[in-house]
Amino acid sequence: MPSESQAENLIPDVEVEPGSSSSSESDPNSPPLTRTHSRTSVSSMSSHPSDDWEIFPPLDKLSIFDFLDQLALPQRIEKINRTVLTQRDKLRDRQNRITKSYRQQKDKVLKKAEVEKYLRKYNEGIDRLMVKWDDTRVVSTREKISFVVGVSNIFITGFLMGAHPEWVHIWYSLQLIYFMPIRYFTYHQKGYHYFLADLCYFVNVLLMLAIWVFPTSRRLMISAYCLSYGNNAWAIAMWRNSMVFHSLDKVTSLFIHIMPPVVLHCLVHLADPAWVAVRFPAVDHIKYHDKYSLGEMIVWATVPYAIWQISYHLLITVRRRDKIAAGRPTSFTWLRKSYANTWIGKAVLSLPNVLQEPAFMFIQYVYAVVTMLPCTLWFYNPYLSGAFVSLVGLWSIYNGATFYIDVFGKRFQRELEQLKKESIKWQQSSPTPLPSPAAEVPVDLNASDTVDGKPVPHMDITPHGSSSLEFPDTGAAKERNNTTGSLPLQQ
């Protein structure tokens, strides 16, 4: 309730003519009483802005004018509603402008990232091209050594065959000691170490035993000879061994297959018979005294072959079946994949899975026997033996030429075509140049709108709750290209 002083201020002001009574009843002709708006008096009680929204004065001070004034209340409510709607529309327009600006800036950033992506791919393609083109970067130290070893091997082997054929087996043994550890570590790192149990390595072991451990064993010598001139030599064509000097792996594979026939050709046909009779009695007995027929050669060569085949099946195919099924390659899986489109491959693959491996082993044995059929000619005729060794050597040279011209050349051509496609794709996908930041009209997120001359409070309605957008420097990509020396594109 108001205090006494405040109540006195609420009494209506009465104007009385001079000489008249203070009571209105004393003079009926006196002017009517006048009073200010009761709400005006109430509003003078406090200057707080919230008092402007007080519609009704105290009940004990209401007058007829207050009741008449309430008739304008719907108009005032409608005015307030229009003000709220106007503020909402302005805020919605403001939100749309900010969202549109955000999306535009986001699209520009994405386009810049896409440009940098294609530039990076283009630069990588150029780098790969330069790597392939620049011999000093392509040929590593190991490949240089391999090239020197491969070429030197041909000259040294040729020299020894012509001048000192009795030294060829020593040269072969030294190379085998050099190549085999490298082959073991490289294949083990690549997961190819199951290939080390193949027949070609087993043949080299037989030959080393015949040379250094059992030089008097005729059956071991016959076995090593037939398997070297048979399955091992013909594998140059079957496994596509090639004379590629810069590849240590290919040089090693060719050495394993071609050197056993070369060593045996020197011992049987080129070395001094007197020296052979003393150093390798088994060769002297087979060639001059106890000649073997073709059937005997095949039988004695089948014995170590059967030992190898059974051991391979039990130790690799059976005991390592899980790892092979997981993707570890073997000679069987490689041949099944390489010859899948040939008639013999289709015949094997058409069998049930249980019979595919036995069928493969049987075909491999038949192949070994077929390749051993001319061994009697090779053993007793030096010219036919020399022609056969030269033939397999030329075959490896042809495979090497195929690799350099067809495989290596086409691979380089495919990389050039891929680089061309990437360049065309980049040119087609390259966005239009982005406008300068100075030409863009910035959006002032801190500006406030007004409604009916009154400020509207700022509302933070930017996406992700951020009131500002930050973007990377537009000159970063140019600076990167200038520092890396990337090549410009020709439009």
End-to-end, the C-alpha distance of the chain in Å comes to 87
| pLDDT tens figures, 73-119 | 677 788 888 888 888 888 888 888 888 888 888 787 777 777 777 77
What type of residue sits at position 480? Answer: R
Q: Does residue 469 have a pLDDT over 70?
A: no
Q: What is the C-alpha separation between 150 and 404, in angstroms, rounded?
A: 15
Q: Does residue 464 have a pLDDT over 60?
A: no
pLDDT-based confidence at 60, cuts 50/70/90? low
| pLDDT tens figures, 257-304 | 999 999 999 999 999 999 999 999 999 999 998 888 999 999 999 999
Q: Does residue 444 have a pLDDT over 90?
A: no
* pLDDT at residue number 65: 65
| pLDDT tens figures, 110-145 | 777 777 777 777 777 777 766 665 555 555 677 778
Q: Does residue 423 have a pLDDT over 80?
A: no
Cβ neighbour number for residue 64 with a 10 Å cutoff: 8
Is the pLDDT higher at 7 or at 123? 123
Is the pLDDT higher at 65 or at 327? 327
Which parts of 228-328 fold into alpha helices (H)?
233-238, 248-265, 273-279, 281-284, 294-312, 321-325
427 CB contacts (<8 Å, ≥6 apart)?
489, 491
Percent above pLDDT 90 for the chain: 36
Dihedral pair phi/psi, residue 450, rounded to 5°: -125, 145
* pLDDT at residue number 57: 60
Confirm if 434 and 118 have CB atoms less than 8 A apart. no
> Which residue is listed with tokens 């003000």?
83
| Averaged confidence pLDDT in the chain | 76
Q: What is the C-alpha separation between 86 and 368, in angstroms, rounded?
A: 96
Is the pLDDT higher at 419 or at 345? 345
Q: What is the C-alpha separation between 386 and 262, in angstroms, rounded?
A: 9
* pLDDT at residue number 356: 87
**Of the segments 4-8, 210-214, 328-332, 441-445, which one has the largest average pLDDT value?**
210-214
Q: Does residue 18 have a pLDDT over 70?
A: no
Calculate mean pLDDT across residues 311-334. 86
pLDDT-based confidence at 411, cuts 50/70/90? confident
pTM: 0.60
